[in-house]
Structure 1
Amino acid sequence: MAIRVMLFDERGRLAAQGNEDLLARFHDQGGFAWIDICGAQSQIEAAALGPFGLNPLAHRDAQRQRHPAKYEAFQDHVFLLMHELTREAVHDRISRHQLGIFASGSFLITRHDLPSESVEKYWDQTAGQQQLPRGGIGQLCYFLLRGLADRYLPLMYDIEQRLGEIEDEIFESTSDDLLSELINYNSQLKKARRAYVYQHGVIQELMGGHDHALLAFDEHELTDLYEHFERLASMANLYQELTSDLINGFISVSAHRTNNIMKLLTIVTAIFLPLSLIAGIYGMNFENMPELRWRYGYFGVLAFMLVFVAGGLAWIRHKKWL
């Protein structure tokens, strides 16, 4: 359903549940309402939300595909634009979508283009309990914010675990797949950190003003939410630095491995180049070469080559080049 509605009486008890047709009843009788909009057509959405008098610029921001998290307070409602993980999000692909929240003392409007895990969770919970939370719309709004924040933490723990595994694999792996994975994590964490910082700022603004009194937010709950996003931003920053260190470490290990290979090839070349020179000299077809008619010339040259190779290897080991 693109638009679904829950109506509550003045005591917060669930009175009706259905589609946008219930909105006329809300405007006539009052009480409380939760309107959830998921991917509705613009005309239908505009017709349903028109009577609520939402700020058109804020509504336009909520409809945009990409916009930084923000908070705005108006005379009779507040607007929160948050970033929530999609259902497909995993630790190596931190995909997000926007969740727009318009809230006042009597209504809550959640607007999103993709399915929202937080909205689904508390929609079902509210429908099952047949009433609003004790704190009303403000409490419900907090639950949604906390729900989307809580989904980030397990994902960050997964990233931490994987980075620890990569740290152990760096010295054993000879493939560039680890480097590609680290570069991906670096990019994902950079974007995630920006999202956390923006949302951390949203909660900070909400705490710093007096507008949150409109929804009767609990200051302790807001403080807890603020600290949660602060921790997420700190973790993203820490893991991004760790990822950068691992990238540099992988490159250093690869360079060291390459240097060892080049050193070995150089040693082999240095030993066998004189042998090639000797073979080249005695491979010439001049008639007046004294050693060509020497009975032990072949064995003498081979013996000289073996002595040269043994002496070269002994000298290299003496210099500790190998």
Structure 2
Amino acid sequence: MQKGTKQSAKEPGLPPGTLSFVGHRRAETVRIQVVDYDGETADTFQLEQVDDCSNLAGRRANGWIHVSGLHRVDIVERLGRCFQVPPLILEDILNTGHRPKADIWEKGVFVVAKFFAMEPEEETLQMEQVSFILGGNFLISFQESDRPIFKPVRKRLATPGSRLRRCGVDYLLYCLIDLVVDHYFVVVETVGDRIEDLEEALFHGEGEDLLDPIHRIRRQCLFLRKAVVPLRDAVGILRREEGPLGSREIQPYLKDLQDHVFQVLDTLENQREMGTALLDVYLSSMSNRMNEVMKVLTIIATIFIPITFIAGVYGMNFQYMPELKWPWAYPAVWLIMIVVAVLMLLFFRKKRWI
């Protein structure tokens, strides 16, 4: 069973733009980490008070503000006011069951994506929502938990002379989304290995307890596909040349990102078909096994039909039955029964029924 797929429902009838957290609390406290960087320096610090975010707006240096934990609606609302984010976008950020998408408004870009990780021991799929708000020289990222999923990007950003230092926040947005997509490759590779193991177990006759794993694999492919298909459309929106990410510098990277999303989607389609094929093979193997059992039972019952007939004839207690007085009648009846059974087995073997 996939974890993190069921969300608490939002109260119906609320006005549009009403901020309400929809989801499960995945972090003990809300942490806000800020990275100010340019071509030469990169300063990282924790934002202790959300009121201090007003000092972040209007800086000349590029800024990356990462929020871990979404259960504090007041913090998200305060950040939205500091950076002039529309309430409808903040509402989508707090709704952790939102589908991936990309919206472009007059002051920036809003992107929603789903991050997936596979737990190898439990074979469960972990999912959480990540959201990004791109402004002029700042990028705000929101994450449900405090899992360090963006740690590789932080290391690259801390490396002097890296491309992340030299480029703007639009390239940082690309790197973060690309990291999310890279995790898709890890997950689909794990799912593919699991499908191969199930296929090998099926063809080796170990199919008694494989229905639940096969069903789990098919559901995992379905959840992944539901996240990748809208992400493909979102990347297509980001690639529009009239949008904020339409510069020539970032376009090749977005095209490469789109190719990766298409590759993940094609792999998922193949794996979903393989999962369906595995289910068909499993059901066919179970049906064949049942047919084998029924064939054995039918052969046994067919052999015993004439033997039961002979036993029934001599079980009739008529007074005048000459065989009852013969001294060799009992072994003769047994011999006849055995001969009949052997002849029927030879007949079945000749017909290749057994």
The question of a shared fold, defined as TM-score above 0.5 by the shorter chain, is answered with: yes
Give the conservation status (yes or no) of the 8 Å contact 2:109–2:135: yes
**8 Å contact kept, 2:38–2:166:** no
Q: Distance in 2 between matches of 1:90 and 1:282?
A: 65
Change in Cα spacing, 1:86 to 1:252, as seen in structure 2 (3 Å) is: closer
Q: How many residues align?
A: 322
Match of 2:180 among 138, 142, 148: 148
Q: Does 1:32 align with 2:62?
A: yes
> Given residue 61 of structure 2, which amino acid in structure 1 is its aligned partner?
G
Aligned-residue Cα RMSD (Å) equals 2.5
What runs of 5+ residues in structure 2 fail to find an aligned partner?
1-28
Aligned CA distance change for structure 1 residues 133 and 18 (closer, same or farther; 3 Å)? same
Secondary structure, counterpart of 1:258 in structure 2: helix
- The farther-off stretch of 225-234 and 78-87 is 78-87
* Partner-residue secondary structure (3-state), 1:62: helix
Please say if 1:73 is aligned against 2:73. no
Alignment equivalent of 1:118, drawn from 120, 143, 149: 149
* TM-score, scaled to structure 1: 0.90
SS of corresponding position for 2:193: helix
1:95 to 122, 126, 141: 126
The answer to whether the 8 A contact 1:33-1:107 is kept is: yes
Specify whether residues 27 and 89 from structure 1 end up closer, same or farther in structure 2 by C-alpha distance, changes over 3 A only: farther
Corresponding residue number in structure 2 for 1:23: 53
Give per-residue Cα distances to partners, 1:54-110, cap 9 Å, x unaligned.
011111111102011010111111100011124748894333111010011211101
Q: CA deviation at 1:149?
A: 0.7
- The DSSP-based 3-state class of the residue aligned with 2:103 is strand
Match of 2:290 in 1: 258
Q: Deviations over 1:178-209 (max 9, x none)?
A: 12211211121022112111111110111124
Q: Equivalent residue of 1:210, what SS?
A: coil
Matched, 1:180 2:215: no
Overall identity of the aligned pairs, in %: 24
Instruction: Tell whether the 8 Å contact from 2:32 to 2:46 is kept in structure 1 after alignment.
Output: yes
Amino acid at match of 1:181: P
Closer, same or farther: CA 106–216 of 1 in aligned 2, 3 Å: farther
Hey, what does 1:160 align to over in structure 2? 192
CA separation of 1:275 and 1:75: change in aligned 2, threshold 3 A: same
The one-letter code sitting in structure 1 at the alignment partner of 2:153 is Y
CA 1:27 to 1:197, structure 2 compared with 1: closer, same or farther past 3 Å? closer
Q: Name the structure 2 match of 1:270.
A: 302
Q: Would you say the 8 A contact 1:79–1:103 is kept in 2?
A: yes
Query: Please, what TM-score do these two structures have when normalized by structure 2?
Result: 0.82
**CA gap 1:102/1:216 in 2 versus in 1, 3 angstroms:** farther
Contact 1:2 1:38 in 2 (8 A): yes
CA deviation vs aligned residue, 1:217-243 (integer Å, no higher than 9, x gap): 611100110000000011000110011
Residue matched to 1:60: 91
Listed as ranges, the gaps of 5+ residues in structure 1 are none
The answer to whether the 8 A contact 1:79-1:102 is kept is: yes
* Separation in structure 1 between the aligned mates of residue 299 and residue 229 of structure 2, nearest angstrom: 54
**Shift in Å, 1:287:** 3.0
* Range that drifts further, 302-311 or 172-181: 172-181
What's the counterpart of residue 301 of structure 1? 333
Instruction: Give the structure with the larger helix fraction.
Output: 1
Structure 1: distance between partners of 2:284 and 2:213: 17
Question: Structure 1: how far apart are the matches of 2:37 and 2:190?
Answer: 43
CA gap of 1:265–1:159, structure 2 versus 1, over 3 A, is: same
1:2 to 30, 47, 53: 30
**Residue pair 1:138, 1:217 contacting (<8 A) in 2 also:** no
Q: Which of residues 239, 263, 266 in structure 1 aligns to 2:271?
A: 239
AA aligned opposite 2:235: I
